[in-house]
Amino acid sequence: MFIVIGCMLAGIIVGYFFRQRKIRSIHKIILALIWLLLFLLGLEVGANETVVSQFAKLGFEAFLLAVGGTFGSIIAAWLLWLSVRNKSISK
């Protein structure tokens, strides 16, 4: 966990040093890495036999809980957003 954060801090320092010269390709690299990470996540799930064999049975319950939890938190975040958006979040 701290190593991951450390990587980002290192990146911030590197990016800061090169801020005179805009690194434009970085957003394409970020997108490619997101794709790779999602691919690996799929690989990890697919390779886990326990999960795959029970996927249909447990997957539906898991799906409902995921949607319920995510949607609930979105609504809660929306309420907070409505109370702060007109304040000091500058664009």
Partner 1 sequence: MKGSLIILSFFATGLLLGIFRLFPADILHYNTSFYVLCALMFSVGISIGNDPNSFRQFRSLNPRLIFLPLMTILGTWLGVIAVGFFLNDRSLADCLAVGSGFGYYSLSSILITQYKGVELGTIALLSNIMREVITLLFAPWMLKYFGKLAPISAGGATTMDTTFPVIVRNSGKEFAVVSIYQGFVMDFSVPFLVTFFCSLK
Q: Which parts of 35-74 interact with partner 1 (CB under 8 A)?
A: 35-48, 50-52, 54-55, 58-59, 61-74
Which of the 8 DSSP states describes residue 24? T
Closest distance to partner 1 from the beta carbon of 37 (Å): 5
Does the footprint of partner 1 cover residue 1 (CB under 8 A)?
yes
User: What is the rounded distance in angstroms from the CA atom of residue 81 to the CA atom of residue 12?
Assistant: 28
Minimum Å gap between C-beta 27 and partner 1 is: 7
Using CA atoms, how far apart are residues 52 and 45, in angstroms rounded to an integer?
A: 7
